[in-house]
């Protein structure tokens, strides 16, 4: 169980607790203002914040201090967790409103519009309509449509993650690849972790693995290795984020997810 599960999970996974999506929670703690400010300024604020942190990277003392402060702030305001498709479907079932949005990260890192993000439970207040850049390509989805889309994203190898707006309120569902800021920050640059790994890790059943290597190209985290001696794939569980997208590429159902808590030493 991750840190948020023990704090906000009521004994189960925190993202499956109905209360963390409730309208009442959204109305508390100036969340609406936070959300509005987020939509209005997120690109510039995150770009500048990242650049500042990056600039002090080679000064270990200051970097360690600032990093710890930023991590605390990030965990209180906007933190994410990777979630495999089965759990995403359970999350979708809890929602009354789902809207599809252009991805903030990809706009920032590639300058292109990619509509891979979902706002969950935040639309009924009409908040997003105020921002023309979100509203013009804004699309209200039914649960079934959302699930179908998410399945197709899973097959494309996009990693699903949920995002808080002032933890524990969950308001965003992202489908990330390597252009995502969370990926850059947490996985590639290792500047500041801003998302948890999933509650699972993937493992390969060697009896079923044919050694076709398809899963290797699907993994965004470079966690799958290939043993040429055995002609089988192998997952480096220390690097695995438990997103489960590798399973979509496997024709032999050789990859399965196991609870991360079964492994005593794995990082979150």
Partner 1 sequence: MKIGINSQACGNPLDCRLCLDKCPEKVFGTYPRKGRKPGILADDWVIFPMFVSQCSGCLECIDFCPHKAISVQK
Per-residue contact flags (x/-) with partner 1 for residues 89 to 108, judged by CB under 8 A: ------------------xx
206 binds partner 1 (CB under 8 A): no
**Which residue, 188 or 231, has its beta carbon nearer to partner 1?**
188
| Residues 91 and 101 sit within 8 Å (Cβ to Cβ) | no
- Could you tell me if 182 and 195 are in contact, meaning their C-beta atoms sit under 8 angstroms apart? yes
Other Cβ atoms less than 10 A from the Cβ of 253: the count is: 9
Pairing of strands 139-141, 98-101: antiparallel
Nearest to 172 by CA among 125, 132, 117: 117
48 scored as a contact of partner 1 (CB under 8 A) = yes
Site for partner 1 contains 133 (CB under 8 A)? yes
Helix (H, G, I), strand (E, B) or coil at 180: coil
Nearer to partner 1, 70 or 95 (CB): 70
DSSP annotation string for 66-80? HHHHHHHHHHHH--E
Interaction with partner 1 in 180-199: which residues (CB under 8 A)? 184, 189, 191
Out of 11, 18, 58, 262, the only residue in the binding site for partner 1 (CB under 8 A) is 58
Assess 41 for contact with partner 1 (CB under 8 A).
yes
Angle at CA of residue 87, ends 122 and 85, nearest 5°: 100
Closer to partner 1 by CB, 3 or 179: give it. 179
Min dist CB 112 to partner 1, Å, is 8
The contact set with partner 1 (CB under 8 A) reads: 40-41, 43-44, 47-48, 50-51, 54-55, 57-58, 107-112, 131-133, 136, 179, 184, 189, 191
């Amino acid at each position: 169980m991750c840190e948020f599960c023990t704090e906000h999970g009521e004994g189960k996974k925190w993202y499956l607790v109905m209360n963390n999506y409730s309208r009442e929670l959204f109305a508390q703690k100036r969340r609406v203002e936070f959300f509005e400010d987020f939509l209005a300024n997120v690109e510039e604020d995150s770009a500048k914040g990242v650049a500042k942190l990056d600039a002090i990277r080679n000064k270990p003392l200051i970097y360690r201090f600032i990093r710890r402060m930023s991590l605390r702030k990030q965990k209180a305001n906007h933190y994410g967790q990777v979630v495999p498709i089965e759990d995403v479907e359970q999350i979708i079932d809890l929602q009354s409103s789902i809207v599809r949005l252009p991805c903030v990260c990809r706009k920032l890192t590639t300058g292109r519009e990619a509509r891979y993000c979902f706002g969950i439970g935040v639309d009924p207040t009409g908040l997003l309509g105020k921002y023309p850049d979100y509203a013009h390509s804004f699309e209200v989805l039914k649960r079934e449509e959302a699930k179908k889309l998410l399945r197709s994203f899973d097959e494309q190898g996009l990693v699903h993650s949920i995002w808080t707006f002032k933890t524990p309120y969950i308001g965003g569902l992202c489908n990330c690849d390597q252009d995502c800021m969370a990926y850059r920050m947490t996985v590639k640059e290792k500047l500041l972790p801003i998302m948890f790994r999933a509650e699972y890790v993937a493992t390969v059943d060697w009896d079923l693995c044919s050694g076709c290597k398809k899963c290797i190209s699907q993994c965004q985290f470079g966690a799958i290795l290939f043993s040429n001696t055995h002609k089988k794939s192998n997952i480096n569980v220390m690097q695995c984020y438990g997103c489960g997208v590798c399973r979509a590429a496997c024709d032999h159902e050789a990859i399965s997810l196991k609870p991360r808590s079964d492994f005593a030493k794995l990082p979150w």
